[in-house]
Amino acid sequence: MNTEILGIIFMYGAVVLLAIPLGRYIGKIFTNEKTWLDKIFNPLDNLFYKLSGIDISKEMNWKQHLVALLTINAFWFILSMFVLTNMSWLPLNPDGNPSMTADLAFNTSVSFVTNTNLQHYSGETGLSYLGQLMLMLWQFISAGTGIAICAVVFFAMREPKVSSPSGRDREGLLGNFYFLFVRSCTRILLPLSFAAAIIYAFNGTPMTFEGKDTVTTLQGDTVQVSRGPVAAFVAIKQLGTNGGGFYGPNSTHPFENPNYFTNIIETISIFLIPIAMIFAMGFVLKRRKLAWTIFGVMTIGFLCLVIPSVYYEMQGNPAISQMGIAEPNGSMEGKEIRFGSAASAYWAINTTCTSNGSVNAMHDSMTPLTGMFTLLGMMINCFYGGVGVGFLNFYVFIILAVFISGLMVGRTPEFLGKKIEAREMKIAMLIALLHPFLILAGTALASFLYSGNPEAYSGWLANPGFHGFSEMLYEFSSSSANNGSGFEGLGDNTPFWNIACGLVMLLARYLPIIGPVAIAGILASKKYIPESAGTLKTDTATFGLMVFAVIAIVAALSFFPALTLGPIAEYFSLY
């Protein structure tokens, strides 16, 4: 078999094999069972609790959880605004990089707070090392936030009488947020990042606080090479579905992703925690079959996107074939020779299905349908999805599917023994609406401005026509999915894009967290109805199919007209 394809199959197989034990471990972290890392981390965690005066035995209801989450995020947001707008005179700036403008600092801070990591700057020239460290810290905080709040939803889904971490029977109490948050960072993200960073460093990724190096090339020119604490940065960037690169070109840069081996590790890192979270749910709820059902639906969705993408990239570009140029390696425009077309396409779908957004190839240069599948990955945003939040997005679709299929079996819809009624439907529907609304309304606004006065906004689009439309659609999809990758080719460091995308990112981050947590919290306080033969089982293939259909019709089809004007029109013009 083709080695390129074998490489992909290996990467997928490895991630699933690693995710199952990791899921069990994550489950233990949430429920405070003993792990062998306790010895190292218990003192560290206790130090954090002591320093911040947190009583971890105090359990919270869903509202208190959300307050804690927003408090943590708001505090660090202000600090990062300060660092980014003042880093020129702050320490750790050996290259003398300037401070950010306010709108760019806003966009950047929002983008890292929200786990989006949309970068309207280039790391080498736009940030000091202090700025990079600030953003690196954010990659931990935002990912930890997502994992912790997902754990809260897991707790809410449990059957009653299962004791919570503190051992008490819960009454709408769903653990302590700070406890979950600290443990998500120190027990899950930190050890994994540490291991990954060492691999990257040994493969040639820089890990230093020294400034630029000067290299004399073979031609005798001198070249300034940017360095920095790259290995540590890349590790958490991949693992926390963050995606914000140290360098502008992200993981296409030889220092961020030196070879095919690091590419394997980085690709595995993208999916590892999102998939492990699903298995963690299975362990926490003691419903492994449900975890496998959800995993199955997500996997089928992912395969629907990744298989055609890899196929089209490996086929090459018909426009080039028509010129009589052979493309034995597939469409290589905008791709790195060391990864090849298949691994690049595979990464592209990985990074857009999760809310990662790091890139190892230029998405702008992908063939039209691959471009569409990357867009769809972000529009659906729950085929694995971002760490923690991917599951929350999926949860909303489960609620919608439960409602419709519950009716179809002639019973008031129930999910895990809790009745789904008007209030939950209202929240679920609003959250399901939000994503299409933000993407379509944002793109509509941009299209309106552009088509009203193409000259004034000519700096926006590198390619007018269908492709330019895809660029705008991609930017808003990426913001709303908290993905952060760019189609590029879009002149996006302008006040319009900085502010519009900043607002979209904020809304698309917090509302889809608040919604599912509210639903889960309300359901948790409802009366538990034991299962009977008339109860709809949610851990069956039939129900999985139902969820898949709901996602396809609600999430994917509402973008059909927009996609028609972008990648689909481009496809039909090209092929």
Site residues (vs another protein, CB under 8 A): 400, 403-412, 417, 420-422, 425-426, 429-430, 432-433, 436-437, 440-441, 443-445, 447-448, 450-451, 466, 469, 527-530, 532-537, 540, 542-543, 545-546, 549, 553-554, 557-558, 560-562, 564-565, 568-569, 572-573
* Joined tokens for residue 402: 């439960």
Of 143 and 401, CB closest to another protein: 401
Among left, alpha and beta (phi > 0; psi -120 to 50; other), residue 400 is alpha
Of 53 and 530, CB closest to another protein: 530
Give min distance, CB of 556 to another protein, in A: 10
Give min distance, CB of 432 to another protein, in A: 7
Give min distance, CB of 39 to another protein, in A: 43
The neighbour count for residue 518, using CB atoms within 10 Å, is: 19
Of 203 and 535, CB closest to another protein: 535
Of 338 and 419, CB closest to another protein: 419
Give min distance, CB of 538 to another protein, in A: 10
Of 46 and 573, CB closest to another protein: 573
Of 39 and 527, CB closest to another protein: 527
- The three-state secondary structure class of 490 is strand
Give min distance, CB of 391 to another protein, in A: 21
The rounded distance, in Å, linking the Cα atoms of 106 and 101 is 8
Give min distance, CB of 396 to another protein, in A: 11
Nearest to 241 by CA among 114, 365, 366: 114
Of 103 and 159, CB closest to another protein: 159
* Joined tokens for residue 354: 């999760």
Kindly tell me the burial class for residue 26, based on how many C-beta atoms sit within 10 Å of its own C-beta (0-12, 13-18, 19 or more).
buried
Give min distance, CB of 465 to another protein, in A: 8
Of 143 and 554, CB closest to another protein: 554
Kindly tell me the burial class for residue 53, based on how many C-beta atoms sit within 10 Å of its own C-beta (0-12, 13-18, 19 or more).
exposed
According to DSSP, residue 415 is labeled: E
Question: Which residues in 477-494 are b (16+ Cβ under 10 Å) and which e?
Answer: bbbbbbbbbbbbbbebbb
Give min distance, CB of 297 to another protein, in A: 14
Nearest to 436 by CA among 495, 381, 368, 500: 381
Of 24 and 411, CB closest to another protein: 411
The rounded distance, in Å, linking the Cα atoms of 380 and 305 is 11
Of 6 and 433, CB closest to another protein: 433
Long-range Cβ contacts of 540-549 (<8 Å, 24+ apart): 540/293, 541/293, 541/296, 543/293, 543/401, 543/405, 544/293, 544/294, 544/296, 544/297, 546/401, 546/404, 546/405, 547/297, 547/394, 547/397, 547/398, 547/401, 548/297, 548/300, 548/301, 549/401
According to DSSP, residue 160 is labeled: T
* Joined tokens for residue 109: 């801070």
- Backbone dihedral angles phi then psi of residue 222, each to the nearest 5 degrees: -100, 140
Kindly tell me the burial class for residue 561, based on how many C-beta atoms sit within 10 Å of its own C-beta (0-12, 13-18, 19 or more).
exposed
The neighbour count for residue 71, using CB atoms within 10 Å, is: 12
Q: Which value, in Å, is the radius of gyration of the alpha carbons in the chain? A: 23
Give min distance, CB of 215 to another protein, in A: 45
The rounded distance, in Å, linking the Cα atoms of 532 and 58 is 35
Give min distance, CB of 449 to another protein, in A: 9
Q: Distance from first CA to last CA of the chain, Å, rounded? A: 27
Of 141 and 546, CB closest to another protein: 546
Give min distance, CB of 156 to another protein, in A: 17
Place of tokens 């997005």: 393
Query: Is the Cβ–Cβ distance between 266 and 358 less than 8 Å?
Result: yes
Of 252 and 443, CB closest to another protein: 443
How wide is the angle at C-alpha 496 spanned by C-alphas 490 and 499, nearest 5°? 110
Of 79 and 569, CB closest to another protein: 569
Give min distance, CB of 69 to another protein, in A: 26
Strands 213-216 and 222-225: antiparallel
Give min distance, CB of 439 to another protein, in A: 9
Give min distance, CB of 11 to another protein, in A: 33
The neighbour count for residue 535, using CB atoms within 10 Å, is: 14
Of 264 and 550, CB closest to another protein: 550
